[in-house]
Amino acid sequence: MSEETIRRSELMWGAIAAFGVGIMAAVIVVSSFAMAIHPPSNVETIDPTTLNTNSEFAESNLGTRVNPDGSVTVRIVATQFEFLPRCIPVPKDRQVTFRVTSPDVIHGFLIAGSNANTMVVPGYVAQLRTVFSSAGDHLMPCHEFCGLGHSEMWALVKVLDGAEWKPDASGKASCELPR
C-alpha cells in the first residue's frame, strides 16, 4: 500500500462523509420547512410574578376557548405541581394554539403521542400550534424536573370529534378528569 493509495482512499471517504453530512442537513431543512414544524420560538416575555393579575393568564381565562374567528386557543399555567386546568378538551382536525407559561420554576409540556412539546420557562409565553387528527385521550406530563412533586404533575388532553365537542355560549370548553 503506497502513501498515494492511502491519500486517495481518504479523499474519497472524506467526500462520501461530506455528502452524508449534506444529506443530513437537507433532511433538517426539509423537515423543518416542509413539515411546517413550529418549535416554540415566539420569544414573548411576560412578568412571572404577576401572572394572577395578568388579564390573559388570570385563572378565569385559562383553558380552552374558541375565538371569535373560529380558531381555538388553549391557555395553560404550569405551576408547582399541577397544570391549570388539569383537563383540556380540544377539537379534532382543527388547528389548536397552546399558550403556556409558569409563575414559578421551569416546567415541561408534552402531549404524549403528538409533536406538541415545549419547555415552560418563567418569564416567557411558550406558544405552539398543532392539529390532532384522531379523537382520544392523551397524557400530558410535565417533562422537566420542577421539584419534589414533579412526578405527580400530569394533565389530560381530550381530543373530541364533532358531536362531543361542545363549547359553551361564551366559547369556553372544559372537561373533568376521570375518577
Question: Which residues form the interface with Cu ion (CB under 5 A)?
Answer: 107, 142, 146, 150, 153
Q: Closest CB to other proteins among 29 and 58?
A: 29
Name the minimum Å distance from CB 150 to other proteins: 7
**Contact call for residue 39 and other proteins (CB under 8 A):** yes
H/E stretch holding 149: none
Q: How many other β-carbons are positioned within 10 Å of the β-carbon of residue 158?
A: 21
Q: How many residues bind other proteins (CB under 8 A)?
A: 68
Bridge partner list, 172: 65
For 157, the grid coordinates are: 388532553
CA atoms within 13 A on the CB side of 175: 21
Name the minimum Å distance from CB 168 to other proteins: 29
Query: If 0-12 CB within 10 Å is exposed, 13-18 middle and 19+ buried, where does residue 111 land?
Result: buried
**Residues of the shown chain interacting with other proteins in the complex, contacts defined by CB under 8 A:** 1, 3, 6, 9-10, 13-14, 16-18, 20-21, 24-25, 27-29, 31-32, 35, 37, 39-49, 80, 104-106, 108, 110, 112-127, 137, 139, 141-151, 154
